[in-house]
A = this chain, B = another copy of it.
Amino acid sequence: MLLRVRSAVSHLVAGLGPGPGTQPPAEPRHGGGGGSGAGGEEGSRVTAFCRPAFLQLTSEELRRADDHTGRAVQSPRDGRRRLPWSTGYAEVINAGKSQHNEDQACCEVVFVERRPSPRGHQPCRDGSGEPDRGRRGFYFHYWALFDGHAGSGAAVMASKRLHLHICEQLRDLVDILQDPSPPPICLQHNAELSQAEDSQEVPSDALPRFHLEKAVSHESLVIGAIENAFKHMDEQIEQERASQHISGGCCALAAVYLMGKFYVANAGDSRAIIIRNGEIIPMSREFTPETERQRLQFLAFLRPELLGKEFTHLEFPRRIQPKELGKKMLYRDQSMNGWAYKKIEEDDLKFPLIYGEGKKARVMATIGVTRGLGDHDLKVFSSNIHIKPFLSCFPEVHHGGPGAGGALQGCPEGTRLAAAQRQAGLW
């Protein structure tokens, strides 16, 4: 079935328009400001099952999209005109795994409005849904895939909120990012700000700078904003999971194009690649029980109580049988990349924290990814052992700076950014 998505992808890529930077920003779908911010609610439950709004599916098409037999590939009906940057998208249901497609996607142009001074009272968005272009701020383009599991709730909510959390984190940085001088290390006190009518938080450490002071780039502020947005998104899911009936969890992969630079944030095992002149440039690393083995083992080594006396933090190449007690078996711990033999002790008979290989690798025999959003109620089957402490909601953010990512800067024609999970692709 992956072939069917690939085929649709090839078809659409062939008909793509010019690359980024060659057309004006599309109409923004979300104003960035507002008192409600990322936590805002349109009234209805935000985690009810749906497909991405840009697919514009009729009820009949929605039924077809959920058909586990036909497995129709879904793409935006008028994708080339409707999505910014001629973004392509294709998805298909993962047959037999769940009633509905648990994955989600989002493609938006977001206006980040400079946070008004405490005494200002501007509304966050005008009636038309468009920001006032006279106000200070900037746009960012945003594309994201959410690979859901154990329910669609987390993926649906993240697809509707993550970009707003990113926007919220960027609002304090509007002036700083637009100022070519290095970001200030320290800002004025909040209370002092309310006395300055038309100024955002201002640096308190003007020249001369401190002797031992680390240089911080504008890009690293954007990365920090995206990292914290993921954290806040995860906290919101945790807080609202009961009232909003948010089920499951999701990997999240988001690409942000801001002020001429790309930032690709990945928390999970989806992939982002750049295709440039036929060359494939990876823009993300996958986070799986195998790639994150040492982080997980280190945590379990320091906090053995998280293993609930049922698991061992050591890794073995296969399950140990009770009759093998006292024999020597290969193992590795949180500090090792190689393998060595150890005499099997009683404690080693517990199930390994990390077990299996490739796509079958699991954390505590439960989950095959190690980063993402949600999963706050996920437990080891038939136990009270929580998985969440081992899952990180923090993404790794690659950005288009010097090095491999540098390919992104400027984004010449012929460059396409593609993000993929097994059942969906955005490009």
Interface residues of A (CB under 8 A from B): 169, 172, 183, 185-191, 201, 204, 210, 212-216, 219-228, 231, 295, 298-299, 302-303, 316-320, 324, 326-330, 332, 335-341, 343, 355-357, 360, 392, 394, 396-397
Contact indicator B204/A327 (Cβ below 8 Å): yes
Report copies per complex: 2
- Is A341 within 8 A of B172, CB to CB? yes
A298: which B residues are within 8 A, CB to CB? 295, 298-299
Say yes or no: B212 contacts A360, CB within 8 Å: yes
Q: List 7 A-B contacts (CB under 8 A).
A: A216-B339, A221-B339, A222-B338, A226-B338, A227-B337, A336-B394, A337-B397
Contact status A332-B224, CB under 8 Å: yes
Shortest beta-carbon distance, A215 to chain B, in Å?
Answer: 8
Classify the secondary structure of A's interface with B.
mixed
User: Across the interface, do B224 and A339 meet the contact criterion of CB distance under 8 Å?
Assistant: yes
What is the CB-to-nearest-CB distance from A297 to chain B, in angstroms, rounded to a whole number? 12
By the criterion CB–CB under 8 Å, are A340 and B212 in contact? no
Asked if B337 and A213 make an inter-chain contact with CB atoms under 8 angstroms apart, the answer reads no
Partner of A341 from B187, B189, B332 at Cβ < 8 Å: B187
Q: A204-B324, A302-B299 are in contact. Are A223 and B337 (CB under 8 A)?
A: yes
Interface contact B357-A214, CB-CB below 8 Å: yes
Bound CA–CA A340/B170 (angstroms): 10
Question: In the complex, what distance in Å separates the CA atom of A186 from the CA atom of B327?
Answer: 7
Closest CB in chain B relative to A113 CB, distance in Å: 18
Q: What are the 10 closest A-B residue pairs judged by CB atoms, nearest first? A: A223-B338, A224-B338, A224-B340, A214-B317, A335-B394, A187-B328, A213-B318, A210-B318, A220-B338, A224-B339
